């Protein structure tokens, strides 16, 4: 995981990893942009295009302005894509930017469903939802999935339930 506050370069590091793996090792990547701003997604796309690696990466977005259900499902959609490539015999890098926004989307969905929030206002199903995503990131006899995830740490508090739950899986 790439842990840090806002603006420290987590996404830039992901772009460089995708580019280097594609160019230097002919590797394939899947990028799930969870809760991205439209501008960020557009910039990321153009960066991949300028690096000539669009044929080595799949991009899937659930943008910030979309309903929380879309944002919650986009990481799982990206993972399903990575699983498909893995099952075809590829070794895949699966990127999630940002896993914190995945948690926030889950919090919003939970509130819409009328669930009582738990610690610090997060959904009571935080650990389960994180586990459903993280436990699917596995290797098989024919291929593998390796995940790199940007993890926003709110107020640089590593004990916040969102990054703390993520730590348990990385």
Structural domains for the chain: 2-167 (3.40.50.300)
| pLDDT tens readout for residues 9-29 | 788 888 899 999 999 888 899
Which residue is it, tokens 């995940």? 147
Express each pLDDT in 62-81 by its tens digit.
999 999 999 999 999 999 99
Residue 170: what pLDDT? 82
What band does 89 get if pLDDT is binned at 50, 70 and 90?
Answer: very high
Give me the half-sphere count of Cα atoms (radius 13 Å) on the Cβ side of residue 143: 17
Task: Please give the pLDDT value at position 36.
Answer: 86
Return the pLDDT at 84: 97
Tokens linked to 138: 């596995």
Is 47 designated active site?
Answer: no
Beta-strand runs (E) in the chain: 2-4, 28-34, 57-62, 91-97, 144-152
The strand pairing partners of 149, in sequence order, are 96
- Provide the percentage of residues in the chain whose pLDDT is more than 70: 100
Query: Active-site residue among 37, 50, 115, 128?
Result: 37
pLDDT at residue 10 in the model: 80
Q: Determine whether 10 is an active site residue.
A: yes
Q: Is 136 a catalytic residue?
A: no
């Amino acid at each position: 995981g790439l842990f840090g506050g806002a603006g420290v370069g987590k996404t830039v590091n992901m772009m460089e990893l995708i580019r280097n793996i594609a160019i230097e090792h002919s590797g394939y990547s899947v990028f799930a942009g969870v809760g991205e701003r439209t501008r960020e997604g557009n910039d990321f796309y153009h960066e991949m295009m300028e690096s000539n690696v669009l044929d080595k990466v799949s991009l899937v977005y659930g943008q910030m302005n979309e309903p929380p259900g879309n944002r919650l499902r986009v990481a799982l959609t990206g993972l399903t894509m990575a699983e498909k490539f893995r099952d075809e015999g590829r070794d895949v890098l699966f990127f999630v930017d940002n896993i914190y926004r995945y948690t926030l989307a889950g919090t919003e969905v939970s509130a819409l469903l009328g669930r009582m929030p738990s610690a610090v206002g997060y959904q009571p199903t935080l650990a389960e939802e994180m586990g459903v995503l993280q436990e699917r990131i596995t290797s098989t006899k024919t291929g593998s999935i390796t995940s790199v995830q940007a993890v926003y740490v709110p107020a640089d508090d590593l004990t916040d339930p969102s990054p703390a739950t993520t730590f348990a899986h990385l």
